[in-house]
C-alpha cells in the first residue's frame, strides 16, 4: 500500500535512479534502492510543527563539514543535532535563518515515509487494523512535554518503561496513527518495539555510537565503509586495554572481550591483534572510566549510560576512531546483568561501523539484554561492510599459511600468582579451516577452549608449585601446533583474623564523648604478636592484649575520625580494620527543664495552717540538677529529689505568702512555677 500523505516539505527528493552515486545519504528507506538526489541545495520549506520557531533539516555539504562550516552554522543560531553520513548534518534551523548561501550539495527535511522503519509492515498493519507497539524517536531538542502531547494528541497510547532513552517514547496504536504522527517535524523516526520493552523487562539502552558531531540517529542505515574502505574487503585491527573495571578481574575482561571479537570475526574477514601502546591508528582502545574521562562525553554514574563507542574514520578521526569507553561506575558482571560480553558485543558492532538495527532480537537493536551470539540481521549487516569469512576450497587456491597459535593472556612466561585458577586467551591464524583449541596441564587437568580464531579458555585449576599448561590448535589437515605456559602458584599467605567488637561492629559510629575505647579480637594459628591503633586525626599506640584486645581512651577531634586497628602475626603478616567515628563536639545545652506542681492542686489557696507541703515533678533533656524554693518572706531552700521532688513543712506567715519553685539543669537553664497561699 502506498503512502497517503503528501511530502510536505522536501525539495530535491527524487527517485533512486536519479541519485548522485558519489554522494548518497545512507538512510533506511522503504523502497529497494531508494535514495536521495543530492545534485543541488534546495530551499527548506516548513512542515507541520507542534512548536513554531525552528525546523529540523538535513544539510549535506560538498565534502565533510569542517570546523569553519560548523562555526558558521553556530553563528547563525543553527544547532547541530547529529551526523548524517555522508558529509551531512541534522540541524535545527531558526525560521528566520536562510541556508541558501551556504556551499551545500543538498538541503531538505526527511519525508514521512523515511521516518517509518522498513521493518514495520505498514500495508499489512493497515489491512489488519490491529494495533501494534512502536518506539517513537523525537529530535534531541524537542521539549519532553511537547513530545508527550504530540504523541497523545495523535491518539496513540503512551506506555511507561524505566529504561527508555529521553528522546524516545514507547507507544501502542494503529499504523494509521503512526502515519499521521510522522508528518510532524518534531518526529525523527519510528521503529518496532521489542517484546522486552512491551513486557516491561529491564533492558540496556544504547543512545548510539558517538561521532565528533554527536550521535547517529536511528534512521541511519550505515555510517561509512568500515575499516576496509569501499566494498567488502578484509581488515586488520589492533585492540588495547587502557584500563579495567574494578568489578571484573582483568584476565576475565580480556577473555570476554576476546570472545566478543571472535564472534564478529566468525562471519567476516577481520583480524584482531593486541596492540603494544594506546592511541595507535586502526586500533580499538578499550577504557573503563567514571564521569568525565577526557573525550567530552562524561558518564553519568551507575544506572545511566553504560558505554559509548566512536565510529571508524570517517566520521571520527584517529586516534579516537573505533575506541570503546565503558562506565566504571556500573556493576559489571559476567553472565549476569550488566553482562560485560553482551555490552562489548553490541559496542563492537559500532566500532566496526554498524548503526542500530530496527529489528528486535538482533544484537544491534538499541534496547538489548544478554546475548550469546549474533543474529541473522547482525551477520547480514556486517557482511555488507566486510568480506565474508569463507573456508579454503583447495584446487588452484594459493597454499594456505601455516597454522599458528598465539597466547595473548597471560602475557609472557613464567607467570607467578597465588590464585587458584587462571584464564587464557589468544588467537589462531593460518591453516585451512577454523581449528579446534584444546588444553592440558601437567597436573592432570584438561579441557576445550571456546572459539577458534579468537579463543578463550575458562579458568584452568592451578596446584601450589609449578604448573605447565599446554594449548594446542588443530584443524584436521595441518600439523597441530602447541604453545605452553609455565605458571608458578605460590602458597597463599593467610593474614591474621581481626574484628572490632566495640563500640560498634559496623563500619561507622557516632560518639557523644570526646574519647572512645575500642575492643575486639584477633586470631592466627601462629599467634598474634601485637595489636596497634592509629587515628587519622592524630594519635597512635599499642592496644592492651592480643587475641582479646582493647585500646586506651582515644581522643577524638570534631568531625570524622578514622581509627585503624592492625593485628600482626610473628612473621610480619598483618590485617587491618577501620572504624569511622563521627564526633560533633560538646553541645551547648539551651533547653530549660519542665516543672509541674502536683500538690496542692491549685496555684491560689487559703489555709489556717502554719506550714504546707508541696510536691511535684521536673524533667530535662539532659537532666535536672536541683529544685529550689523561695518565698516572698525571703525564706528559701532546696527540695528533696529532682525528677520527683517534695518540699516539706514550708513555713507560712499570716497574710499572703508567694512561693516560687525553680528547676535547674547543669547548664544553669531554669524554669519556675509559683503559688499564692493566704494564711488566715
**Residue 109 to residue 563: CA distance in whole angstroms:** 65
| pLDDT level of residue 399 (50, 70, 90 thresholds) | low
Sign of the four-CA dihedral 114, 88, 187, 368: positive
Task: Assess contact for 504 and 579: CB atoms under 8 A.
Answer: yes
**Residue 249 to residue 260: CA distance in whole angstroms:** 17
| pLDDT level of residue 1 (50, 70, 90 thresholds) | very low
Maximum pairwise Cα distance, the chain: 138
Written as nine digits, the cell of 650 is 514550708
User: Which spans in 65-211 are helix H?
Assistant: 67-75, 122-128, 144-153, 175-181, 195-198
Identify the CA nearest to 82 among candidates 23, 138, 147, 163. 138
CATH number of domain containing 536? 2.60.40.10
Identify the CA nearest to 389 among candidates 314, 472, 482, 454. 454
CATH number of domain containing 468? 2.60.40.1220
The model's pTM is 0.57
Establish if 589 belongs to a structural domain: no
- Of the ranges 6-20, 140-154, 345-359, which one carries the lowest mean pLDDT score? 6-20
> What was the pLDDT predicted at 4?
26
Give the Å distances, CA to CA, from 591 to 71, 76, 465, 639, 656.
65, 65, 70, 21, 33
Mean pLDDT, residues 548-553: 94
Look up cell 561521532; give the residue: 211
Mean pLDDT, residues 463-467: 92
**Residue 467 to residue 458: CA distance in whole angstroms:** 16
Establish if 394 belongs to a structural domain: no
CA atoms within 13 A on the CB side of 292: 2
Mean pLDDT, residues 421-427: 89
- In this structure, are 234 and 374 located in the same domain? yes
Residues 117, 162, 169, CA angle at the centre, nearest 5°? 30
Written as nine digits, the cell of 68 is 569553519
Identify the CA nearest to 522 among candidates 493, 492, 495, 553. 495
- In this structure, are 242 and 358 located in the same domain? yes
More confidently predicted of 164 and 453: 164
- What is the total count of domains within the chain? 6
Q: At residue 75, what are phi and psi to the nearest 5 degrees? A: -60, -35
- In this structure, are 447 and 545 located in the same domain? no
Can you state the angle between helices 340-351 and 376-383, rounded to 10 degrees? 30
> What was the pLDDT predicted at 30?
59
More confidently predicted of 380 and 231: 380
Written as nine digits, the cell of 296 is 567530552
Q: What is the CA radius of gyration of the chain?
A: 39
Establish if 332 belongs to a structural domain: yes
Look up cell 494528541; give the residue: 153
> What was the pLDDT predicted at 11?
27
> What was the pLDDT predicted at 241?
94
Average pLDDT, the chain: 85
**Residue 478 to residue 443: CA distance in whole angstroms:** 28
Using left for φ > 0, alpha for ψ between -120 and 50, and beta otherwise, residue 120 falls in beta
**Residue 403 to residue 428: CA distance in whole angstroms:** 7
- In this structure, are 25 and 104 located in the same domain? yes
CA atoms within 13 A on the CB side of 146: 14
**Residue 86 to residue 291: CA distance in whole angstroms:** 31
- In this structure, are 251 and 368 located in the same domain? yes
Length of the chain: 680
More confidently predicted of 122 and 287: 287
CATH number of domain containing 365? 3.40.390.10
Mean pLDDT, residues 393-405: 57
Q: Of 465, 489, 513, which one is at a domain's C-terminal end? A: 489
Helix (H, G, I), strand (E, B) or coil at 295: coil
| Torsion angle, alpha carbons of 459, 462, 466, 472, to 10 | -40
- In this structure, are 372 and 246 located in the same domain? yes
Look up cell 522486552; give the residue: 196
**22: burial class by Cβ within 10 Å (0-12, 13-18, 19+)?**
exposed
Please write the tens of the pLDDT for every residue from 295-340.
Answer: 888 888 888 889 999 988 877 788 888 999 999 999 998 877 788 9
Establish if 71 belongs to a structural domain: yes
- In this structure, are 224 and 331 located in the same domain? yes
Establish if 81 belongs to a structural domain: yes
- In this structure, are 646 and 511 located in the same domain? no
Task: Assess contact for 524 and 569: CB atoms under 8 A.
Answer: yes
Mean pLDDT, residues 553-582: 91
- In this structure, are 571 and 504 located in the same domain? yes
Mean pLDDT, residues 148-153: 93
**Residue 516 to residue 582: CA distance in whole angstroms:** 11
**Listing from the earlier edge strand, what are the strands of the sheet with 324-327?**
270-274, 235-241, 283-289, 324-327, 307-309
| Structural domain boundaries enclosing 156 | 116-201
Please write the tens of the pLDDT for every residue from 14-71.
Answer: 222 223 335 677 788 755 333 333 333 333 344 688 878 889 999 999 888 888 999 9
Task: Give residue 288's Cα distance to chain centre.
Answer: 11
Helix (H, G, I), strand (E, B) or coil at 135: strand
Establish if 393 belongs to a structural domain: no
> What was the pLDDT predicted at 641?
92
Q: Is the pLDDT of residue 578 over 90?
A: yes
**Residue 388 to residue 270: CA distance in whole angstroms:** 9
**Residue 130 to residue 514: CA distance in whole angstroms:** 73
Task: Assess contact for 147 and 167: CB atoms under 8 A.
Answer: yes
- In this structure, are 99 and 65 located in the same domain? yes
> What was the pLDDT predicted at 513?
87
**Residue 513 to residue 556: CA distance in whole angstroms:** 8
End-to-end CA distance of the chain: 113
Written as nine digits, the cell of 28 is 533506511
**Residue 422 to residue 468: CA distance in whole angstroms:** 12
Please write the tens of the pLDDT for every residue from 366-377.
Answer: 998 888 889 999
**Residue 563 to residue 559: CA distance in whole angstroms:** 13
Establish if 399 belongs to a structural domain: no
Q: At residue 173, what are phi and psi to the nearest 5 degrees? A: 180, -175
> What was the pLDDT predicted at 400?
57
Q: Is the pLDDT of residue 190 over 90?
A: yes
- In this structure, are 290 and 345 located in the same domain? yes
b/e sequence 150-171, b meaning 16+ C-beta within 10 Å: bbeebebeeeebeebbebbbbb
Establish if 317 belongs to a structural domain: yes
**Residue 247 to residue 11: CA distance in whole angstroms:** 53
Please write the tens of the pLDDT for every residue from 401-416.
Answer: 688 888 988 887 789 8
Written as nine digits, the cell of 59 is 544539510
- In this structure, are 229 and 321 located in the same domain? yes
Q: Of 489, 520, 535, which one is at a domain's C-terminal end? A: 489
Q: Of 114, 131, 158, which one is at a domain's C-terminal end? A: 114
More confidently predicted of 609 and 396: 609
Q: Is the pLDDT of residue 12 over 70?
A: no
Helix (H, G, I), strand (E, B) or coil at 376: helix
Identify the CA nearest to 89 among candidates 184, 226, 214, 191. 214
Give the Å distances, CA to CA, from 255 to 16, 328, 407, 412, 525.
45, 18, 11, 16, 38
Q: Is the pLDDT of residue 586 over 70?
A: yes
Mean pLDDT, residues 437-449: 92
Can you state the angle between helices 250-265 and 340-351, rounded to 10 degrees? 50
Amino acid at each position: 500500500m502506498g503512502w497517503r500523505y503528501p511530502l510536505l516539505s522536501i525539495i530535491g527528493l527524487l527517485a533512486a535512479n536519479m541519485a548522485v552515486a558519489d554522494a548518497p545519504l545512507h538512510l533506511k528507506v522503504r523502497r529497494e534502492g531508494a535514495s536521495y538526489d543530492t545534485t543541488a541545495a534546495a530551499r527548506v520549506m516548513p512542515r507541520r510543527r507542534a512548536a513554531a520557531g525552528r525546523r529540523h533539516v538535513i544539510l549535506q555539504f560538498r565534502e565533510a563539514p569542517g570546523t569553519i562550516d560548523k562555526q558558521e552554522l553556530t553563528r547563525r543560531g543553527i544547532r547541530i543535532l547529529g551526523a548524517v553520513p555522508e558529509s551531512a548534518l541534522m540541524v535545527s534551523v531558526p525560521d528566520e535563518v536562510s541556508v541558501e548561501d551556504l556551499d551545500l550539495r543538498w538541503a531538505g527535511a526527511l519525508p514521512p515515509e523515511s521516518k517509518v522503519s522498513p521493518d514495520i509492515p505498514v500495508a499489512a498493519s493497515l489491512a489488519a487494523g490491529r494495533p501494534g507497539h512502536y518506539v517513537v524517536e523525537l529530535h534531541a531538542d524537542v521539549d519532553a512535554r511537547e513530545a508527550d502531547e504530540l504523541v497523545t494528541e495523535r491518539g496513540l497510547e503512551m506506555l511507561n518503561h524505566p529504561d527508555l532513552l529521553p528522546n524516545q517514547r514507547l507507544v501502542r496504536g494503529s499504523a494509521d496513527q503512526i502515519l499521521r504522527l510522522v508528518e510532524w517535524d518534531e518526529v525523527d523516526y519510528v521503529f518496532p518495539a521489542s517484546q522486552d520493552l512491551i513486557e516491561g523487562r529491564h533492558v540496556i539502552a544504547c543512545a548510539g555510537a558517538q561521532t565528533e558531531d554527536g550521535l547517529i540517529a536511528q534512521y541511519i542505515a550505515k555510517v561509512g565503509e568500515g575499516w576496509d574502505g569501499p566494498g567488502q574487503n578484509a581488515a586488520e585491527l589492533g585492540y588495547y586495554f587502557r584500563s579495567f573495571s574494578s568489578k571484573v578481574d582483568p584476565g576475565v575482561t580480556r577473555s570476554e572481550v576476546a570472545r566478543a571479537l571472535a564472534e564478529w570475526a566468525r562471519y567476516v574477514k577481520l583480524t584482531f591483534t593486541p596492540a603494544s601502546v594506546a592511541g595507535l591508528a586502526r586500533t580499538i582502545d578499550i577504557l573503563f572510566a567514571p564521569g568525565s574521562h577526557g573525550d567530552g562525553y562524561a558518564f553519568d554514574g551507575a544506572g545511566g549510560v553504560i558505554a559509548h563507542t566512536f565510529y571508524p574514520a570517517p566520521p571520527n578521526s584517529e586516534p579516537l576512531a573505533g575506541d570503546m569507553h565503558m562506565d566504571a561506575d556500573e556493576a559489571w558482571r559476567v553472565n549476569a546483568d550488566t553482562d560485560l560480553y553482551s555490552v562489548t558485543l553490541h559496542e563492537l558492532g559500532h566500532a566496526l561501523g554498524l548503526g542500530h538495527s530496527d529489528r528486535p532480537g538482533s544484537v544491534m537493536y538499541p534496547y538489548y539484554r544478554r546475548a550469546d551470539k549474533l543474529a541473522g540481521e547482525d551477520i547480514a549487516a556486517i557482511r555488507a561492510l566486510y568480506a565474508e569469512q569463507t573456508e579454503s576450497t583447495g584446487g588452484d587456491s594459493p597454499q594456505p599459511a601455516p597454522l599458528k597459535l598465539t597466547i595473548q593472556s597471560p602475557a609472557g612466561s613464567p607467570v607467578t600468582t597465588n590464585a587458584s585458577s587462571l584464564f587464557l586467551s589468544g588467537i589462531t591464524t593460518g591453516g585451512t579451516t577454523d581449528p579446534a583449541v584444546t588444553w592440558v596441564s601437567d597436573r592432570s587437568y584438561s579441557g576445550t577452549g571456546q572459539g577458534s580464531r579468537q579463543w578463550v579458555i575458562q579458568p584452568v585449576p592451578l596446584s601450589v608449585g609449578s604448573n605447565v599448561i599446554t594449548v594446542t590448535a588443530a584443524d584436521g589437515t595441518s600439523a597441530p601446533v602447541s604453545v605452553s605456559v609455565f605458571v608458578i602458584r605460590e602458597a597463599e599467605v593467610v593474614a591474621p583474623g581481626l574484628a572490632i567488637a566495640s563500640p560498634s561492629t559496623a563500619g561507622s559510629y557516632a560518639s557523644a564523648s570526646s574519647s572512645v575505647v575500642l575492643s575486639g579480637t584477633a586470631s592466627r594459628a601462629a599467634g598474634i604478636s601485637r595489636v596497634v591503633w592509629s587515628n587519622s586525626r592524630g594519635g597512635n599506640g599499642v592496644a592492651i592484649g592480643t587475641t582479646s584486645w582493647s585500646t586506651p581512651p582515644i581522643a577524638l577531634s570534631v568531625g570524622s575520625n578514622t581509627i585503624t586497628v592492625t593485628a600482626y602475626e610473628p612473621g610480619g603478616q598483618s590485617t587491618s580494620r577501620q572504624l569511622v567515628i563521627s564526633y560533633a563536639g560538646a553541645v551547648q545545652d539551651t533547653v530549660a527543664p519542665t516543672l509541674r506542681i502536683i500538690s496542692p492542686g491549685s496555684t491560689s489557696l487559703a489555709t489556717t495552717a502554719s506550714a504546707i507541703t508541696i510536691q511535684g515533678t521536673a524533667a530535662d533533656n539532659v537532666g535536672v540538677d536541683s529544685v529550689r524554693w523561695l518565698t516572698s518572706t525571703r525564706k528559701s531552700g532546696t527540695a528533696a529529689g529532682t525528677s520527683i521532688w517534695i518540699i516539706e513543712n514550708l513555713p507560712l506567715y499570716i497574710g499572703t505568702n508567694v512561693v516560687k519553685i525553680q528547676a535547674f539543669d547543669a547548664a544553669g537553664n531554669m524554669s519556675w512555677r509559683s503559688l499564692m497561699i493566704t494564711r488566715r
